[in-house]
Amino acid sequence: MKRIRCPKCDEPILFDDSLYTPGRTLVFECPDCHKQFKIRVGVKKAPVTPDASTPNLFDGQEEEEEKPILGYLVVIENAFHLRQEIPLHEGENTIGRHVRGTNINAPIKTVDPSVDTTHCRITAKINKQGRVQFILRDGPSGTGTFLMNEILGDRDRVTIEEGAIITIGATTMILHEGEPEEEE
């Protein structure tokens, strides 16, 4: 599976590139903003230097390696936006307001000005006992990150579990383990 991003609204789109022959051009329509754009499958631009860490590119789209989803946040509906489910991948998840051009991997689509573009971070990992562990910390942000109505300090690192209630700005989120359920 490959993830590309809409060039207009930056919405991530997943597709199975193994179904297509290399060099084939595909047309996508963003499910969010309905912008149509093209990519070429499997064609890698030659790196400028022979550095193996240079990412593969598809016609200007960055290829993102998929990490396993260990949990997700349910963003509760408020005055600014509707309910959303934000997947939490293994590693550090930077949570904040979605603005095109920011480098965050868990964006919330909102116009809430009290949510910073990099408001807080949740690190998801599997501990030595094989259990999923989530660690929350503030971004740092302008309005603070609250866990169960208690504000976190700039240097606080708090382990959170299933059902934890996190508030950033005017947005409330609930943590769940596992992958989000698909709606039909």
Distance CA(176)–CA(155), nearest Å, equals 24
Q: Which residues of the chain have pLDDT under 70?
A: 42-66, 77-81, 182-184
Task: Tell me the per-residue pLDDT of 67-104, one tens digit each, with 9 for 90 and over.
Answer: 788 898 988 866 666 778 999 999 999 999 888 877 78
Q: Strands 36-40 and 25-29: what pairing?
A: antiparallel
pLDDT of residue 46: 44
pLDDT of residue 40: 80
Number of H helices, E strands in the chain: 0, 17
The two three-digit tokens of residue 6, written as one number: 């809409």
Q: What are phi and psi of 3, to 5 degrees?
A: -120, 130
Q: What's the CATH number for 69-177?
A: 2.60.200.20
Do 11 and 5 touch, CB atoms closer than 8 A?
yes
pLDDT of residue 182: 62
pLDDT of residue 133: 95
Distances (CA, A) of 103 to 1, 10, 19, 99, 144: 21, 11, 29, 9, 20
Question: Which pTM was predicted?
Answer: 0.62
pLDDT of residue 184: 47
Start-end of CATH 2.60.200.20 domains in the chain: 69-177
> Which H/E stretch holds residue 170?
none
